């Protein structure tokens, strides 16, 4: 659970750093958000 949250937080930082690939980062972010919740 904590690994998923930390990974999503890192992706959130990368999203702010590179706003050009926002759509690709958001799709990758959503994957990391839904993946840990499905494992519960």
Q: Which of 15, 19, 18 is nearest to 32 (CA)?
A: 15
- pLDDT category of residue 38 using cuts at 50, 70 and 90: low
Q: How confident is the model at residue 4 (pLDDT cuts 50, 70, 90)?
A: confident
- Which residues 6+ apart lie within 8 Å of 15 measured at CB? 22, 25, 26, 29
Instruction: Provide the percentage of residues in the chain whose pLDDT is more than 70.
Output: 60
* pLDDT value at residue 1: 59
Nearest C-alpha neighbor of 13 from the set 1, 24, 29? 29
Contact partners, residue 3, CB within 8 Å, separation at least 6: 36
């Amino acid at each position: 659970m904590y690994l998923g949250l930390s990974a999503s937080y890192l992706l959130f930082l990368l999203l702010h750093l590179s706003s050009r690939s926002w759509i690709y980062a958001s799709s990758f972010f959503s994957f990391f958000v839904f993946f840990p919740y499905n494992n519960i």
